[in-house]
């Protein structure tokens, strides 16, 4: 089973940037999809961005479009989330996971069964 390992979180001021990394324990095929999710205190976990290993499909939640960029380095089995222009509402625990091929229904949390420990992002105003 794939075991993701997230890193790169931290505390930044509003307007700042962070880059999260998601290291995977296995290589992925071009149709496999990796997604980033986040969960604030008292909130439900939500999908942030997703990408296929081949890079042909890239999807974002409306709340992060134009500010976040997801990318992959297949040679390193790693997926990144570059987060710019951070806002306090971006605060939360960020997780990555392998979701359905072609990122089908990627935002449905109940379909995910390979959660990592997550990495905390805190954005202060």
* Predicted pLDDT at 2: 82
Query: What per-residue confidence (pLDDT) applies to 116?
Result: 87
What are the 10-residue block averages of pLDDT along the chain, 125 residues in total?
93 98 93 97 97 96 98 95 98 97 95 93 97
**Short-list 90, 102, 106, 98, CA closest to 38:** 90
Residue (of 84, 94, 85, 14) closest to 48 by Cα position: 94
Task: Enumerate the β-bridge partners of residue 35.
Answer: 50, 97
The predicted structure's pLDDT at residue 64: 98
């Amino acid at each position: 089973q794939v075991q993701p390992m997230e890193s790169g979180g931290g505390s930044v001021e509003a307007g700042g940037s962070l880059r999260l990394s998601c290291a995977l324990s296995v290589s992925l095929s071009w149709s496999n999809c990796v997604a980033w999710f986040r969960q604030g205190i008292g909130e439900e976990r939500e999908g942030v961005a997703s990408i296929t290993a081949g890079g042909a499909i890239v999807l974002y939640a409306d709340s992060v479009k134009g500010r976040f960029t997801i990318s992959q380095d297949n040679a390193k089995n790693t997926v990144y989330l570059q987060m710019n222009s951070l806002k306090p509402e971006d605060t939360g625990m960020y997780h990555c996971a392998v979701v359905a091929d072609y990122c089908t229904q990627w935002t449905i949390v109940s379909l995910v069964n390979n959660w990592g420990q997550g990495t905390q992002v805190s954005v202060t105003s």
